[in-house]
Amino acid sequence: MTTDNHKRLFEISLAIARKVLPFLGQHQIPATPENYMIFYLYFEGDLHLVRRVVDAQLNTGRPWTAETTSQVFGQLFSAEANIDMRRNNERLAQSLRQTADFIVARSCQTAELADSASRELCKTIEAAQRLGEADEAGRWLRQALLQVQEVNQASSRLGGELVDKSQELEKAVQSLDRLETMALTDELTKLANRRAWDSRLRVEFNRFLRFGRPCSVIMLDIDDFKAINDRFGHLVGDQALIQVARLCQQGLRAVDFLARFGGEEFVCLLPETSLDGAYVLAERLRASLAAWAFTAAGQRARLTASFGVSCFRPDDERPEQVVERADKNMYRAKALGKNLVCGEEPLGPSQACLN
């Protein structure tokens, strides 16, 4: 790298730093290396994903804590679906590369044309000065006009082509955003899907190991869902799944994470929530579902769900272990009669299942 390149890189970094440091102070964000890296990328402006994730946190209005840093850092720098999607979508990546190559090539062509025209102008000017003849001056003016017109036409063409390519580039970026959303969203319920769940579970498990803050999981399965499909048809069953997703979402906090685990199973991730708190929330969700009724084929019907609750433990070696315990407790609720919330200690055997 040349001295000029080093100087330019330093000036760019300094300009971004002058934005980052006052911003951290203004928003009372700790000036840690992790936060500096996050907001350096934020103000650098090249990564749409960084802006979307950071803005989502800033718009909550909550203080930026170490947990916030860990969550944002995990979303941006772990091997998660959003970044994987950008790397792995070869078709759109190729489109972006072709667009960039086109812009560079056309810019070079115009620059070469302008340089060539400039050299020719210099030659004719020198010749006119030497000869001082009227005919030579007239020829020079005509030649200069033609060269100026040629450069102007090339610039106009480039401008129009760049506008077209910028529109194509914008469409490609929008397509990436849609594909990212599709890759992480359940098509029917519009909740997070299993892939998004696995990614978020890893982030919260790593935070638990680092900070020791409580985090619980609720797993629920609609009781006798096959009977609903058999009785009313799969379209009604799909609408029931959508409604269950909506009712659960309404009963959760903004910080909680709800996903469709598969079939008629849903999972909730509850940061900063103890096992006792998870029991209370699960019972509230259970009651909400049991109180809801729907009409199909002129008949009034209800549905219920069985719930299993668990939380991260210090001796957990894998994030999936909490899901396995919640799943086991959920099937225990079904075995005990369904429409129940079941869990584990520390509530004790007499309170292990609630209804």
Please give the Cα distance from 348 to 57 (Å, whole number).
38
Nearest CA to 216 among 337, 311, 116, 118?
311
**217 within 8 A of 313, measured Cβ to Cβ:** no
Active site residue 264: yes
**39: buried, middle or exposed (CB in 10 Å: 19+, 13-18, 0-12)?**
buried
**150 within 8 A of 163, measured Cβ to Cβ:** no
Please give the Cα distance from 354 to 276 (Å, whole number).
12
Helices (H) and strands (E) in the chain, counts: 12, 8
Residues near 206 by beta carbon (within 8 Å), at least 6 away in sequence: 70, 74
Name the catalytic one among 168, 264, 265, 344.
Answer: 264
Please give the Cα distance from 194 to 267 (Å, whole number).
10
**198 within 8 A of 210, measured Cβ to Cβ:** no
Nearest CA to 113 among 160, 156, 154?
154
Please give the Cα distance from 175 to 182 (Å, whole number).
10
Residues acting as catalytic residues: 264
